[in-house]
Amino acid sequence: MDEMPTPTTREMEILKVLWEHGPSSVRTVFRRLDVDRDLAYNTVQTLLRIMEEKGLVSHHVEGRTFVYTPCFSRDDSASRFLDRVFDGAAGELVQSLLRAEKIAPAELDRMQAMIAEARRARPRRG
């Protein structure tokens, strides 16, 4: 698996738009970015070109419009983060989050339900 470059804060905002909404034109990304209004359309266009050079996104052409797609899924990115920062130890990541964040009881319940579902979905190894 190729190493994913580390995106800047702005690049991560763009990736989030692409992950949530799928392949998008510059105009669509620009409209969906939930950032300060001082971010110009041309800046988004330049950022997408830079991101393509870095291997974060790719594009195809529809008519005269470039449509950008992320090269890595959100899950791929999370897995790479886990490997890079916690040497793949998911328990260490969870402990770090629990120490650093004030996680609401409802969110903890939701996390427990996800863990229970994951246990049911995976057969036990003996």
Q: What is the pLDDT along the chain (126 residues), one digit of tens a residue?
A: 457 788 998 999 999 999 999 999 999 999 999 766 678 899 999 999 999 999 999 999 999 999 999 999 998 888 888 888 888 888 888 888 888 877 888 988 998 898 899 888 887 665
29: domain CATH number is 1.10.10.10
Q: Answer whether residue 79 is part of any domain.
A: no
Q: Answer whether residue 3 is part of any domain.
A: no
The answer to whether 117 touches 110, Cβ cutoff 8 Å, is: no
3-state per-residue secondary structure call for 10-51:
HHHHHHHHHHHHCCEEHHHHHHHCCCCCCCCHHHHHHHHHHH
Q: Total domain count for the chain?
A: 2
What domain range is 53 assigned to? Answer: 9-70
100 lies in the same domain as 50: no
